[in-house]
Amino acid sequence: MSCNSRQKGKRGELEAAHALNEKLPLAQARRGQQYSGTETSADLVAPGLPNLYLEVKRRQSMNIHKVLDEAEEACGGLAPLVLHRKDNTDWVVSFRLEDLREVVQQLARAM
């Protein structure tokens, strides 16, 4: 991974954490790798959303199903949720329909 790509990923994670905390202050989202030190940890850690595995993607194009599959493999039983955006667009959230109940419950608790 190039230095520029790593920096863009870090900026994307910081932006996503800030945007999530603006909407859900009780989520208390922050970058995951800076605290856990492993590359297999979620991109964001949010104590207010304990059952969600938060992945962040900042790309111009992406295969969301592939990203969700990768998050599902790494999530360790949590519900994977992907925050993503293209340049000059708003953040979007994607997750599997089977996780809808868990995601809604977690989000409602963090409001």
Q: What is the pLDDT of residues 47-98, one digit of tens each?
A: 999 999 999 999 999 999 999 999 999 999 999 999 999 999 999 999 999 9
The whole domain housing 29 covers 3-109
Residue 35 · residue 45 · CB < 8 Å: yes
Which tens digit of pLDDT belongs to each residue from 9-22?
889 999 999 999 99
pLDDT of 36 above 60: no
Q: Name residue, tokens 């293209």.
A: 86
pTM: 0.89
Find the CATH number of the domain harbouring 95: 3.40.1350.10
User: What's the total number of domains in the chain?
Assistant: 1
What's CA 109's distance to the chain center, in Å? 17
CA distance 81 to 94: 6
Evaluate whether 71 touches 55 at the Cβ level (below 8 Å).
yes
Q: What separation in angstroms does the CA of 12 have from each of 6, 54, 57, 104, 106?
A: 10, 13, 7, 24, 22
